[in-house]
Chains A and B, each alone.
Chain A
């Protein structure tokens, strides 16, 4: 395996506060050195990163890879490739596949498929309950032993407070977070979008912000009760952000993520019954979007996660009520973060990288997120200034369901390196030679 020398880029390492023009050397599958004018070792691959930003590879704590069960929407291979193209060196795969990742063999399958794909790392997330049915606790020990990094019933909430409490307590044994999809089903049931003026005008049943906030409050209280680590998925409302802020002030072990669509769009994107704006939790009001952005700024919301949810165009090409929830996000996340948050004056570039790499690694205890010597050789080289148009046909993901078609964004990954090997190089196009 050849060493890789990345030369002359702006190297940003939020874990150690580093930010300056420097060279980065990877040897084996590790970070070997960061500094100025590093000598080129024999046989090294040299990457000219002038004008680029060199950061620890992004880590997505919330992705849906659809394999096993719905390989026509996405596979481990296509998803890992899409992740790499988006600058992600690692993703965490949610367990709501078919069958559900609720046992050792299923976790092992994901690990094996990811290795075969050889692109971004895929860390499996195991289910909280068997079959995600919300009744019986899954075997956390077995899941972790096979490689799971967290547990979640995402796709669904854990409606039973007793089950959530038990999960938080039991997960402490293995030091893993319990990630919850916060939604009170009795309030949300049948809802297709945010309950507000737009839903009233369109005649669609709405999901009130309260449906999310009630569960956020409950999870925080249970985290306090049990001393466990609860990770709150895809936060979307100002009430949720406020609850998390208070909880952190009290020192409760809660972490939270927000998705690019929740810091970019509002429920107005649903006008005209646009099913590509339908997801759960739904797009909310402008004040909610502002609160999410502020939450990312002051650290109340720890990380940016994509909730990448592939769907077939056929499935989205139907009446709004019947269309499935979710949009893809791996290949637009960086562009949206730069355009909306950095250009929007909410985050600096180092802060953005922190939310997308350093902090995800830290809170889920994953390799990467840092350029300390000996750290995992996961790097993203991205152009923070290049303007590009979102064309879903060019995506590496198998699916095309995004509301950002035609949008011009700034910021795009150029080279992604995982375990010291280049897994994505935009200049060279796709593995099969096609230019993207």
Chain B
């Protein structure tokens, strides 16, 4: 039996392969719910969920909001600003206030690594990490895994190259954990200034140039070049980045296989990815978004359900 997920989803690093598979399997029926006319099931009816976003993010927040509403939960969006220091109320106080209002679940996105774990340790509500600093973005990696599994039928043995600003990317880290745990081979590709020095110790290969990645991989996960995170110039210019590392259709044309193109969004068209690639036949960027809602519904559903009940024999379920 797969061990329970626990109270919080802080990242993929603490999860076992079985637990990750459980999340992906649970997402499947939720895909179907989003195709119905009435896109709602009462599973989380009466639950209160707060989307606590300390960083602006329309896409992830909306995805979570749809997931919550389609599960019939009541949702509240809180757009808090910046760090404890700049906004005056500490994360601890925010947490205690939420708990005093008897919130069931909190989805948090924050600029500091460790913020989700910090919150989870201090409140009884379920805490779901929607991205903490440079640490992890587990639901993004889960939807990436689901999208890969949809296309390839498996994760094990797949060669996935994560391309771009790995140093500052929580999406990269979560993907590395998820992919390696499920048996894929992971490569990272980007300018050395944007790759962490110890990245090989996480079990990944370094692919020096984008051409190498295209030759090697079954799928490319192209990271957004995070302008807002770079504290000083790690690369000389966007133009140079596109010329040396951009995924263009000319480069893609030389791929030996039918490469799948993923991108967590939002895209910098013409920087890390060219428009015709993003809109082209190899891109699964939109299916990623669809899967995102289903994956988030699965996460909320499994965490809200808490511990599975005492073992029930086949056919002995309550009628």
B86 → chain A, closest Cβ, in Å? 9
Interface residue B7 (Cβ < 8 Å from any Cβ of A): no
Please determine whether A322 and B85 come into contact, CB atoms closer than 8 angstroms. Answer: yes
Interface residue A196 (Cβ < 8 Å from any Cβ of B): yes
Interface residue A17 (Cβ < 8 Å from any Cβ of B): no
Interchain CB contact (< 8 A) of A319 among B84, B196, B199, B202: B84
Report Cα–Cα, A203/B114, bound state, in Å. 8
By size class, the interface of chain A is 20 to 34
With known contacts A190-B231, A319-B115, A203–B133 Cβ distance under 8 A: yes
Please determine whether A318 and B92 come into contact, CB atoms closer than 8 angstroms. Answer: yes
Q: In the complex, what residue of chain B is closest to A270 when comparing beta carbons?
A: B114
Chain A residues near B170 (CB-CB < 8 A): 203
Interface residue B136 (Cβ < 8 Å from any Cβ of A): yes
Please determine whether A318 and B91 come into contact, CB atoms closer than 8 angstroms. Answer: yes
Please determine whether A319 and B91 come into contact, CB atoms closer than 8 angstroms. Answer: yes
Please determine whether A320 and B114 come into contact, CB atoms closer than 8 angstroms. Answer: yes
Please determine whether B13 and A201 come into contact, CB atoms closer than 8 angstroms. Answer: yes
A residues 199-221 with Cβ under 8 Å of B? 200-205
Interface residue B226 (Cβ < 8 Å from any Cβ of A): no
Please determine whether B136 and A203 come into contact, CB atoms closer than 8 angstroms. Answer: yes
Please determine whether B114 and A273 come into contact, CB atoms closer than 8 angstroms. Answer: yes
Please determine whether B231 and A272 come into contact, CB atoms closer than 8 angstroms. Answer: no
Report Cα–Cα, A320/B83, bound state, in Å. 11
Q: Binary interface profile of A, 295-323, with partner B (CB < 8 Å = 1, else 0)?
A: 00000000000000000001001111110
Report Cα–Cα, A317/B95, bound state, in Å. 12
Q: Quick one: which of B83, B132, B134, B201 has the most chain A CB within 10 A?
A: B134
Interface residue B193 (Cβ < 8 Å from any Cβ of A): no
Report Cα–Cα, A203/B196, bound state, in Å. 10
Interface residue A383 (Cβ < 8 Å from any Cβ of B): no
Q: Quick one: which of B111, B133, B202 has the most chain A CB within 10 A?
A: B133
Interface residue A197 (Cβ < 8 Å from any Cβ of B): yes
Q: Binary interface profile of A, 50-92, with partner B (CB < 8 Å = 1, else 0)?
A: 0000000000000000000000000000000000000000000
Chain A residues near B132 (CB-CB < 8 A): 203
Q: Binary interface profile of B, 84-111, with partner A (CB < 8 Å = 1, else 0)?
A: 1100001110000000000000000011
Interface residue A189 (Cβ < 8 Å from any Cβ of B): yes
Chain B residues near A321 (CB-CB < 8 A): 83, 111-114, 133
Report Cα–Cα, A202/B136, bound state, in Å. 9
Please determine whether A197 and B198 come into contact, CB atoms closer than 8 angstroms. Answer: yes
A74 → chain B, closest Cβ, in Å? 22
Chain B residues near A13 (CB-CB < 8 A): none
Please determine whether A319 and B114 come into contact, CB atoms closer than 8 angstroms. Answer: yes
With known contacts A189-B231, A273-B118, A319-B118, A202–B92 Cβ distance under 8 A: no
A193 → chain B, closest Cβ, in Å? 10
Interface residue A195 (Cβ < 8 Å from any Cβ of B): yes
19 new A-B pairs (CB below 8 Å) besides A196-B197, A204-B133?
A190-B231, A196-B198, A197-B198, A197-B201, A201-B13, A201-B173, A203-B170, A203-B173, A317-B92, A318-B84, A318-B90, A318-B118, A319-B110, A319-B112, A321-B111, A321-B112, A321-B114, A322-B84, A322-B112
Show 10 residue pairs from A and B whose CB-CB distance is below 8 angstroms, ordered by the A residue.
Answer: A197-B198, A200-B201, A202-B114, A202-B135, A203-B114, A203-B173, A319-B84, A321-B113, A321-B133, A322-B83
